[in-house]
């Protein structure tokens, strides 16, 4: 039986110990011992106030691998208070910038030492092929090192002002940051957000996706063992409309960082705004990929498959709309269809697997509805479109990588985010038409351009309405590069100095360098030169 959310059940906690996550072939039952994870508050694992548990499944098999406790409002409040105590404590809040940077670098080293354990657990929990997971997770310690470097290099401003004054700025850490992370890149998106939190001197309460919480717990434990003070990094688990709502609306929240769907961002963002919390929201996307006729078709096809199907297409910057010049359109369609059917679907723990499952049965059914919408709107299916029936895949949430051709901008599959191994192809004749088609979207997270004309590459990139553009590449990020979107794709930026700087309040200090011992504004004969 499948559920819209992971199954919420009640189990006597006395039946089971909190233990390391393991695979199990038995479903949850009242008389069975299963791995249960508590909340992580004040440097240790604790029980939630509710007995409700949420199943965590391996999406490649459908098997339950753990249960997490369902944090309620009072549990979130407990985590927030723990974070606030840590923020104000001498052990964390009293650290010098250099001491904190040294600790953040130490955390990066500790993470790197356990990297094999982390990427293997990530593969089991979210179903991404192990070669992809290894490549992504192995890079994450660099986010902490980069932000530690920013902390050391930070300089406050001295501002030239009129008159006998010295004006300078002071930056102070915002305080408690709520991080809501998604299922598609659990560790990567967590680290992208967590690194500036720690390097700036802030503290955090993290709500991971209920589908993929396991590596978040593991990282909290690794950092605690490496010397991170208690309360700096707390974890609460649960559903978005309960636990997430409690975190987003908490009056003690100073900043909300959320990666997820646009609707979730609108709801959580409006809750946080009531308490005037700062926000960074990375939301939905519908990435256009503009393929011009001077670019090698075979190379364009290879990039297309990579952009559309890596991570089973479950990325907000998935190459979901390929807009291809008419002169190479038919060749591109034929070759991408052939490439797509050659992709090996299978067990994500096997090195030879190229495409794993999507996260849940709910998500698979959503993708199948979009496939049906493509048929109904008259698009031409050229690859995929089915649930694979190969032996060994029956219990997992697999979908064939899917390509529709002859897609027009009015079609549902052109406008709406599918979030799966799914892409569309649309022809164009002129550069102006390609830009018009590309920008015909409520989203604006990323875009890509395939061309050998350097002038066109920069010209088109400047006119794409989005926050990220790749020229002759895709999916690339760096700790130093800002990441975020426009329109319904969110606000704020992660990565780079932009993200680090957004974790501070800026205070302006105005110092008079003229003692003016006889100053008396209200004396009758005072020279009232100016007030401001």
HEC per residue, 407-430: CCCCCHHHHCCCCCCEEEEEEECC
Q: Residue 213 to residues 30, 85, 306, 413, 479: CA-CA distances in angstroms?
A: 22, 25, 26, 30, 23
Distance CA 34, CA 7 (A): 14
DSSP 8-state symbol, 241: I
Angle 115-126/186-200 helices, nearest 10 degrees?
A: 130
CA dihedral 84, 90, 92, 95 (to 10 degrees): 140
Question: Among 278, 210, 246, which residue's Cα sits nearest to residue 54?
Answer: 210
Task: Give the three-state DSSP class for 91.
Answer: coil
Contact 24, 65 (CB under 8 A): yes
Distance CA 463, CA 479 (A): 25
What are 288's strand-pairing partners? 321
What are phi and psi for residue 257, nearest 5 degrees?
-120, 120
Half-sphere CA count of 495, side-chain side, radius 13 A = 17
282 is catalytic: yes
**Residue that is written with structure tokens 């559920």 in the block:** 3
Where are the alpha helices (H) located in 349-422, listed in sequence order?
361-377, 412-415
- Options 282, 361, 400, 417, the catalytic residue: 282
b/e sequence 484-518, b meaning 16+ C-beta within 10 Å: bbebbbbbbbbbbbbbbebbbeeeeeeeeeeeeee
Contact 259, 292 (CB under 8 A): no
Half-sphere CA count of 514, side-chain side, radius 13 A = 7
- Options 67, 180, 202, 316, the catalytic residue: 316
The sign of the dihedral angle between the CA atoms of 128, 132, 134, 136 is negative
Where are the alpha helices (H) located in 281-320, listed in sequence order?
297-309
318 is catalytic: no
Q: Residue 300 to residues 69, 109, 327, 422: CA-CA distances in angstroms?
A: 46, 38, 14, 17
Contact 305, 343 (CB under 8 A): yes
Q: Note the residue count of the chain.
A: 532
Give the E-state strand segments of 147-202 in sequence order.
158-159, 165-173, 176-180
Please enumerate in sequence order all residues whose Cβ is within 8 A of that of 297, keeping only pairs 6 or more positions apart, or say none. 328, 331, 332, 335
Residues labelled catalytic = 282, 316
């Amino acid at each position: 039986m499948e559920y819209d959310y992971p199954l919420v059940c009640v189990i006597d906690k006395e039946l089971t110990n909190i233990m390391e996550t393991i695979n199990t072939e038995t479903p949850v039952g009242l008389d069975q011992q299963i791995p249960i994870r508590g909340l992580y508050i004040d440097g240790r694992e604790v029980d939630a106030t509710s007995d409700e548990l949420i199943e965590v499944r391996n999406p490649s098999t459908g098997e339950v691998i753990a249960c997490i406790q369902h944090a309620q409002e009072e549990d979130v409040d407990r985590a927030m208070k723990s974070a606030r105590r840590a923020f104000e404590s001498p052990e964390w809040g009293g650290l010098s910038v250099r001491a904190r940077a040294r600790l953040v670098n130490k955390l990066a080293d500790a993470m790197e030492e356990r990297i094999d354990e982390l990427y293997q657990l990530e593969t089991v929990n979210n179903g991404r092929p192990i070669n992809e997971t290894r490549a992504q997770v192995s890079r994450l310690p660099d986010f902490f090192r980069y932000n530690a470097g920013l902390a050391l290099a930070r300089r406050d401003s001295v501002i030239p002002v009129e008159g006998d004054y010295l004006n300078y700025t002071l930056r102070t850490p915002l305080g408690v940051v709520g991080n809501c992370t998604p299922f598609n890149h659990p560790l990567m998106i967590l680290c992208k957000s967590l690194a500036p939190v720690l390097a700036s001197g802030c503290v955090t309460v993290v709500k991971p996706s209920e589908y993929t919480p396991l590596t978040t717990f593991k990282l909290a434990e690794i950092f605690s063992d490496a010397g991170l003070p208690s309360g700096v990094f707390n974890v609460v688990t649960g559903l978005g409309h309960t636990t997430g709502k409690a975190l987003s609306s908490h009056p003690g929240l100073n900043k909300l960082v959320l990666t997820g769907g646009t609707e979730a961002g609108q709801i959580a963002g409006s809750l946080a705004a009531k308490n005037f919390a700062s926000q960074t929201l990375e939301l939905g996307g519908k990435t256009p990929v503009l393929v011009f006729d001077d670019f090698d078709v075979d190379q364009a096809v290879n990039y297309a498959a990579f952009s559309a199907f890596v991570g089973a297409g479950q990325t907000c910057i998935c190459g979901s709309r390929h807009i291809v010049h008419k002169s190479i359109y038919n060749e591109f369609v034929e070759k991408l269809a052939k490439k797509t059917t050659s992709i090996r679907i299978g067990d994500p723990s096997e090195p030879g697997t190229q495409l794993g499952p999507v996260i849940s049965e709910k998500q698979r059914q959503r993708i199948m509805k979009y496939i049906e919408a493509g048929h109904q709107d008259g698009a031409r299916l050229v690859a995929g479109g089915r649930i694979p029936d190969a032996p060994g895949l029956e219990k997992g949430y697999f979908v064939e990588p899917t390509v529709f051709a002859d897609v027009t901008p009015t079609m549902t599959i052109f406008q709406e985010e599918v979030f799966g191994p799914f892409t569309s192809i649309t022809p164009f004749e002129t550069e102006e038409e390609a830009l018009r088609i590309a920008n015909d979207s409520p989203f604006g997270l990323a875009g890509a351009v395939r061309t050998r004309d350097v002038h066109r590459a920069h010209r088109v990139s400047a006119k794409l309405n989005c926050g990220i553009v790749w020229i002759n590449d895709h999916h690339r990020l760096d700790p130093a590069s800002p990441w975020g979107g426009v329109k319904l794709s969110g606000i704020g930026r992660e990565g780079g100095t932009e993200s680090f700087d957004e974790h501070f309040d800026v205070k302006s200090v105005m110092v008079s360098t003229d003692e003016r011992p006889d100053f008396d504004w209200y004396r009758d004969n005072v020279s009232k030169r100016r007030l401001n």
